[in-house]
Structure 1
Amino acid sequence: MKKIGFLPLRKGSKGIKNKNKRKMVGRPLFTWVLGEAIFSDLDEIYVYTDDQDIIDFINKEYHWSNKVKALLRSAESATDHVSTEVAILEFAKSINYDFDIFCLLQATSPLTTKENINACLNKLDDNYDSALTVVNTHRFTWNNNGTPVNYDVTKRPRRQDFDGLLVENGAVYSTTKLALQKSKNRISGNIALIKMSEDSLCEIDSETDWTIVEQLLINRQKRGRIPSKITHLILDVDGVFTDGTITYTKDGEHTKNFDMRDGMGLEILRQFGVEVIAMTSEQSDLVVKRMQKLKIENVYLGVKDKYSLLQNFIQNQNISLNNVAYLGDDVNDLTNICSVGWSLTPKNAIDIVKLHADVVLSKNSGAGAVRDACEFVINYNKRF
Structure 2
Amino acid sequence: MKKIGFIPLRKNSKGIPNKNKRKMVGRPLFTWVLGEAIFSNLDEVYVFTDDEWVINFIKKEYHWTSKVKAVLRSDESATDTASTEYAMLEFCESINYQFDIFCLLQATSPFTTRTDINACLESLNKDYDSALTVVNTHRFLWNENGTPINYDPLNRPRRQDFNGLLVENGAVYTATKAVLQKHKNRLGEHTAVVRMPEDSLLEIDSESDWIAVESLLIERQKRSKTSAKITHVVLDVDGVFTDGTITYTKDGEHTKSFDMRDGMGLEILRQFDIQVMIMTSENSQLVAKRMEKLNIDHVFLGVKDKYTLLHKLVLEHGISMNNVAYVGDDVNDLTNICSVGWSLAPNNATDIVKSHADVVLSKPSGAGAIREACQFIMNYNKRF
Question: Any idea what the Cα deviations from partners look like across 1:32-59, whole Å, max 9, x if unmatched?
Answer: 0000000000000000000000000000
Question: Any idea what the Cα deviations from partners look like across 1:119-161, whole Å, max 9, x if unmatched?
Answer: 0000013531000000000000001110000000100000000
Q: Which amino acid aligns with 2:278?
A: A
Q: Which residue of 1 aligns with 2:206?
A: 206
1:305-316 equivalences under 5 Å are 305-316=305-316
Q: Which residue of 2 aligns with 1:255?
A: 255
1:87-106 equivalences under 5 Å are 87-106=87-106
Q: Which residue of 2 aligns with 1:229?
A: 229
DSSP-derived class of the 2:12 partner:
coil
Q: Which amino acid aligns with 1:320?
A: S
Question: Any idea what the Cα deviations from partners look like across 1:335-368, whole Å, max 9, x if unmatched?
Answer: 0000000000000000000000000001100001
Q: Which amino acid aligns with 1:45?
A: V
2-structure distance, mates of 1:62, 1:155: 56
1:121-132 equivalences under 5 Å are 121-132=121-132
2-structure distance, mates of 1:30, 1:149: 35
Q: Which residue of 1 aligns with 2:285?
A: 285
1:57-136 equivalences under 5 Å are 57-136=57-136
- Cα deviation for residue 237 of structure 1 reads 0.5
1-structure distance, mates of 2:261, 2:118: 47
Question: Any idea what the Cα deviations from partners look like across 1:77-132, whole Å, max 9, x if unmatched?
Answer: 00111100000000000011010000000000000000000000000135310000
- Cα deviation for residue 62 of structure 1 reads 0.3
1-structure distance, mates of 2:258, 2:150: 65
2-structure distance, mates of 1:117, 1:303: 25
DSSP-derived class of the 1:127 partner:
coil
Q: Which residue of 2 aligns with 1:344?
A: 344
Q: Which residue of 2 aligns with 1:18?
A: 18
- Cα deviation for residue 190 of structure 1 reads 0.8
Q: Which residue of 1 aligns with 2:141?
A: 141
RMSD: 0.6
1-structure distance, mates of 2:127, 2:279: 45
2-structure distance, mates of 1:11, 1:225: 35
2-structure distance, mates of 1:362, 1:313: 29
- Cα deviation for residue 188 of structure 1 reads 1.1
Instruction: Give the total of aligned pairs.
Output: 384
1-structure distance, mates of 2:381, 2:166: 47
DSSP-derived class of the 1:379 partner:
helix
DSSP-derived class of the 1:20 partner:
helix
Question: Any idea what the Cα deviations from partners look like across 1:174-204, whole Å, max 9, x if unmatched?
Answer: 0000111000000012100011111000000
Q: Which amino acid aligns with 1:132?
A: L
DSSP-derived class of the 2:210 partner:
helix
1-structure distance, mates of 2:270, 2:15: 49
- Cα deviation for residue 285 of structure 1 reads 0.4
2-structure distance, mates of 1:125, 1:323: 38
Q: Which amino acid aligns with 2:76?
A: E
- Cα deviation for residue 269 of structure 1 reads 1.0
Q: Which residue of 1 aligns with 2:39?
A: 39
Q: Which amino acid aligns with 2:342?
A: W
Q: Which residue of 1 aligns with 2:219?
A: 219
Q: Normalization by structure 1: what TM-score?
A: 0.99
Question: Any idea what the Cα deviations from partners look like across 1:199-250, whole Å, max 9, x if unmatched?
Answer: 0000000000000000110011011110210000000001000000000111
Answer with 331-340 or 260-269: which moved more: 260-269
1-structure distance, mates of 2:336, 2:368: 21
Q: Which amino acid aligns with 1:302?
A: G
Q: Which residue of 2 aligns with 1:319?
A: 319
Q: Which amino acid aligns with 2:40?
A: S
Q: Which amino acid aligns with 2:73?
A: R
1-structure distance, mates of 2:369, 2:227: 21
Q: Provide runs of 4+ in structure 1 moved above 6 Å.
A: none
Q: Which residue of 1 aligns with 2:155?
A: 155
1-structure distance, mates of 2:196, 2:314: 26
DSSP-derived class of the 2:343 partner:
strand
- Cα deviation for residue 65 of structure 1 reads 1.2
Q: Which amino acid aligns with 2:23?
A: K
2-structure distance, mates of 1:125, 1:9: 29
